[in-house]
Structure 1
Amino acid sequence: MTYRHSLRKRVAIAFAVCVAVLSVVWGFAFFAAIKLSEDRAMTQQLQVAADSYPAVTMNPRGYDDIDSLPEPLRDWARSHPEEGTYEFTADEFHVAVIPSDNELGRAFVVYDVAGIEAESSEDWWWLLIISGVVGTLGVLGFGLGVMVIRRAVAPVAELAKVVAGIDLENLSAGDHKRIESSRFGDDEVGMLAETIEKTLERISAFVVRERDFTGSASHELRTPITVISGALELLEQSDLSAADVKVLDRVRRATREMKTTVDMFLCLARETDDERYDQQFLVAPVVSQAIEQQRHLLNGKNIGVDIDELANPSVFGHPQAFSIAVNNLVRNAFEHAFEGRAAVTVTIKEHELLIANQKSRNTDELYASTETPSSHGYGLGLGIVQRLCERNGWAFSLVIEETCVAARLSW
């Protein structure tokens, strides 16, 4: 369906049409009420005259003498009322006081409305009828307004329904075609639909490229690491000097760190990872493995590691992401710890992992700007851990005190 006018103009036209229709309906209603009142008053007056036939009295009547007035009005007339009109509800009289040339200087025009005005009970019935009519017109007006406005904004509701039907968590390459922006015309809604369609098209293309890239990168980056690891295993079987063994150990650690780094960045790059984000695993084995992998950083240092397992919790999430986060925290704690007894403490609780280390002399400089991770040092580790936690629904915080630094990973 295409529209000749913009959404703003259609809403304005719909509002104007609704107001015009309601105004016409109310106008006819008031006109009908006035005509009904006139006809009723005339009918009642004729009925009173017919009931008194043949002695038909003229109504209203004029009086120049107070004594000729109806008895209920005589005492009032003697009080010299001012010129004007008066109503006597109890006696059912309407009186007009006008100037005159008689001795009183006043004349009285009396309208006897007895039998003409409606009784109180009848007034209540008329009030009830009028209230019903007004209420009915109000409901009809509200329904008309809703119908007109809904028709005016129907394209927006249709677009919202189409967009709501798209699974944004699992976009496919053809999801953008479901919008069909051409059917919304060339107004504001059409422009919005076209923008959403193009945006989804770009996102879908990006998701496809991301999946292709991570799949290819995973193979291309891990292949040379596997080759290096195999070569190291062959070298270990050779007769090597003590110096060569140290070099071999350094190459092995660098290869292992490179493999961890590749896995880490591939894990962060993937939008989806084969539904591995809801696996359950134990925390203690992951922590023990991370400590053993990073223990070489403590070689030649008088730094102790104290592991306090207060619980044996299990975590839901991505096991590799958790391992990468723990390895980052353990490595940074080992690198920046001050030499001393039990300088690094690892505490495993039911819902959190706490890794604390005593501050070295240059810790303040190393931990500076942790909120904006840099491309080197501890800042990069914090940024990686933060992103991994956000992806898995975990919480990460870093507390820097005067004597120690505590990294807390909770779930």
Structure 2
Amino acid sequence: MYRHGLRKRVAIAFALCVAVLSVAWGFAFFAGIKLTEDHVLQRQLEHAARSYPSLTTNLSGYDKVEHLPESLRQWAQTNPGPGLYELDTQELHVAVLFTDNKQSRAFVVFDVAGIEAESSEDWWWLLIISGAVGTLGILGFGLGVVVMRRAVAPVAELAKVVADIDLEHLSAADHKRIEASRFGDDEVGILAGAIEKTLERISAFVARERHFTDAASHELRTPVTVITGALELLEQSNLSAADQKVVDRVRRATLDMKTTIEMFLCLARETDDGLYDETFSVMPLISQAIDQQRHLLNGKFIDVEIDLIDIEIDDRAKPVACGHPQAFSIAVNNLVRNAFENTPDGQGPITIHIKEHELFVTNQVRGDADDKHTPTQETPHGYGLGLGIVQRLCERYGWHFSLHTDEARVAARLLWR
């Protein structure tokens, strides 16, 4: 479609624009010279016609200073050198030259009275010339825009095609919309080919990712489901206290494994089938996380305090968040588990502050901490692997996570809108 490379097309367009403008300016100057010449001859003829029938000449020759007109004698006595002189006040043009013996000078006087244009006419000529220059400038600008637009047309076309592709929701056929072959083998064609191949690889990667997560979701959840079913059957039998403790440990490990599988699958998916905008209640997920992780406090004398700030007791469904409820549950579980695991025996309480758009989980690591202390310093780094995953989940779903640590306390903050 395009026979020349982009740089060559731009160079040709620039050369063409310069050539056309040069020709236009050349014709304009030539026309100006011819028009001026004709105008001068016409003025001279009109001046001669006004003195008809006694025709006078405008040119006069003088070989001595004393023969010059009286208005020129004083000027000639200053011994001007050979050359051409214009005396505006007398409306005269004078040529000074040496005679053959180079000892004396001769004068040729041209009387331009009645021939040169009046001042008013000069302004009209200036206006006409300015209009012509402005017109040529506008035509040149328009020509440059048209020529350069045609020269960079393939770049603009490629940009439009790429802009029409929804990069957030790539389909398997999006790379075919580029059609790099229509751009030829120049710089734009190479760029189009690279974009096409990149989109093709991304589309293939997304397809493989979806296939993998679907397969992994099935293959990983199946043994967890089998273990859960076996535990339910064991619970129906008469177990000793020791066996019951073992079953409880297996159940908790299975639950942790299920949560981990869901968490990593959630992070691995490129899309979540439109669950980003789901609105869900926060309190049930927080209560579920506390119940699931409470076994970590077994044998520890630690209280868990839940503080609802600006939330009515009978309106527990009021705090709501928008996004992925499963991801939110994973984040809260990690925050609660981190607090329960890292609080030493007797170094309570663990406080959970819940606001309309905010969750604070605070646990002590030393006994001399002030219970009313509010963290003021934020750090983006996680406190262990679990909180690092929370950070990734929050970045993925548009929430904000921060962590404050000091010698006495760890405070995690989760903010949603």
TM-score by length of 2: 0.87
Deviation for aligned residue 1:371:
7.0
| Residue 339 (structure 2) aligns with | 333
Question: CA separation of 1:197/1:323 partners in 2, compared to 1, >3 Å: closer, same or farther?
Answer: same
**Alignment counterpart, residue 398 of structure 2, candidates 379, 393, 398:** 393
Q: Aligned ranges for residues 143-292 of structure 1 at < 5 Å?
A: 143-292=142-291
Shift of the 340–92 alpha-carbon distance from structure 1 to 2, 3 Å rule, reads farther
Identity, % of aligned pairs? 72
The aligned counterpart of 1:13 is 12
| Aligned mates of 1:61, 1:396 — CA distance in 2 | 101
CA apart distance, 1:256: 0.9
Relative to 1, partners in 2 of residues 1:101 and 1:155: Cα closer, same or farther, differing over 3 Å?
Answer: closer
Q: Secondary structure at the match of 1:169?
A: coil
TM-superposed deviation, 1:276 = 0.8
Task: Give CA deviations for 1:366-403 in whole Å, capped at 9, x if unaligned.
Answer: xxxx9787xxxx53223311221112111122222232
User: Which shifted more, 181-190 or 66-75?
Assistant: 66-75
1:152, distance to aligned residue in structure 2 (A): 1.4
Q: Distance in 2 between matches of 1:72 and 1:345?
A: 112
Answer yes or no: is the 8 Å Cα contact 2:155–2:188 preserved in 1.
yes
The aligned residue for residue 352 of structure 1 is: 358
Stretches of 4+ aligned residues off by more than 6 angstroms: 370-373
CA distance in 1, matches of 2:254, 2:226: 10
Deviation string 1:144-203 (CA, Å, 9 cap, x unpaired) is 111111111111111111112222222222221121111111111111111111111111
- Rounded to whole Å, the distance in 2 between the matches of 1:34 and 1:359 is 97
Q: Does the Cα contact within 8 Å between 2:349 and 2:364 map onto a contact in 1? A: yes
Shift of 1:98: 4.2
- Do structure 1's residue 382 and structure 2's residue 387 form an aligned pair? yes
Give the root-mean-square deviation of aligned CA atoms.
2.5
Structure 1 residue aligned with 2:376: none
1:71-122 deviation line (CA, Å, top 9, x unaligned): 54444445555655433334322233445699x9554432222222111111
Partner of residue 409, structure 1: 414
Aligned amino acid, residue 359 of structure 2: L
Equivalent residues of 2:227, 2:254 under 8 A apart: yes
| Mapped partners of 1:302, 1:77: distance in 2 | 124
Cα deviation code 1:309-346 (max 9, x no counterpart): 21443211111111111111111122122444534222
SS at match of 1:290: helix
Q: 1:281 to 1:71 in 2, by over 3 A?
A: farther
> Counterpart amino acid of 1:193?
A
Conserved? CA contact 1:338–1:357, under 8 Å: no
In the TM superposition, what is the alpha-carbon distance from 1:5 to its structure 2 partner? 2.2
Separation in structure 2 between the aligned mates of residue 372 and residue 357 of structure 1, nearest angstrom: 17
2:320 maps to: 314
1:49 equivalent in alignment to 2:48: yes
Give the distance between the partners of 1:79 and 1:346, measured in 2 at CA.
108
Shift of the 297–48 alpha-carbon distance from structure 1 to 2, 3 Å rule, reads: same
> 1:366 maps to which residue?
none
Paired residue secondary structure (1:342): coil
Range that drifts further, 263-272 or 55-64: 55-64
Does the alignment pair 1:342 with 2:348?
yes
Work out the CA distance in 2 between the residues paired with 1:21 and 1:71: 54
Whether the aligned pair in 1 keeps the contact of 2:347 and 2:366 (CA below 8 Å) is no
CA distance, structure 2, for counterparts of residue 40 and residue 59 of structure 1: 17
Do 2:301 and 2:348's aligned partners in 1 also have CA atoms closer than 8 Å? no
1:194-231 CA distances to partner (integer Å, 9 max, x unpaired)?
A: 11111111111222222222222222222222222222
Residue 43 of structure 1 and its aligned partner are, at CA, apart by: 1.9
The 5 A counterparts of 1:115-134 are: 115-134=114-133
Q: Give the residue type in structure 2 aligned to 1:357.
A: N
Secondary structure at 1:116 match in 2? coil
The range that moved more, 284-293 or 247-256, is: 284-293
Q: Which residue of 2 aligns with 1:367?
A: none
- Give the number of equivalent residue pairs: 397
In 1, Cα distance between equivalents of 2:67 and 2:305: 121
Amino acid at match of 1:351: H
Whether contact under 8 Å (1:306, 1:342) holds in the other structure is no
Q: Answer yes or no: is the 8 Å Cα contact 2:60–2:109 preserved in 1.
A: yes
Q: How far 1:348 moved relative to its partner?
A: 1.9
Report the Cα distance in structure 2 between the residues aligned to 1:110 and 1:326, rounded to whole angstroms: 106
Q: How many angstroms apart in 1 are the aligned matches of 2:156 and 2:405?
A: 51
CA contact (8 A) 1:298 1:334 kept: yes
**TM-score, structure 1 as length reference:** 0.88
Alignment of 1:70-81 (within 5 A): 70-78=69-77
Gapped regions of structure 1 (runs ≥ 5): 362-369
> Following TM superposition, by how much is the alpha carbon of 1:250 offset from its aligned partner in structure 2, in angstroms?
0.8
1:39-118 matches, cutoff 5 A: 39-64=38-63, 68-78=67-77, 84-99=83-98, 107-118=106-117
Q: Which runs of 5+ in 2 are unaligned?
A: 312-318, 368-378
**Distance in 2 separating the partners of 1:282 and 1:17:** 68
